[in-house]
Structure 1
């Protein structure tokens, strides 16, 4: 941590990431984690937003190796893309990749259905 002449502190990304990761543990609260790291809860919440936007890489905490970490997912309905296959225009497909699993969906699949499938992939079996 750097302390500037103005008294403002600058936290290294590794410390921010560690604090955010600890808030994701079951039973953890932002208030308690912030107190342990010596920051205000609103500052820790800001770091969580940065992580949620994908701008802060979180570590895997000991014992959490099998737990999922959140990542942004953007799903929206658009006009189906069309590609030319042998002179015939056919709709493209949507693909969801999760580990070794690849799901091919018709391009007409509604965004809400794709989001349901993506959520189901994140659920433990």
Structure 2
């Protein structure tokens, strides 16, 4: 008796028509989904789609055309407290009321999420993932 393996899948290189490639790359630049999600939906490797995007950027740079900037980190805005605001010490009074204002505000795609002090990190992560999925 001999052992053999059966490989399933494409088994060969796919040849993507340039129109289809352009459509997939444009979809990845739209910003509604992550590049990986677009690649997954089209049965592509994310690295292949990143390579196509890089090639497009290079072609555009050679022609003097500028593509939209890839969104990166957003700036954090820290609001200074007024000078006359009371300074808190390390000890907390049991009768002290917590502020009604949120500790963190996130704005993602025109949706504002206000996170209060002591919120569960798992819930926060789930909310952020849900917002990302709706983009």
TM-score band by shorter chain is 0.3 to 0.5
Higher relative contact order (CA 8 A, sep 6+): 2
* Greater Cα radius of gyration, structure 1 or 2: 2
**What TM-score results when the alignment is normalised by the length of structure 1?**
0.38
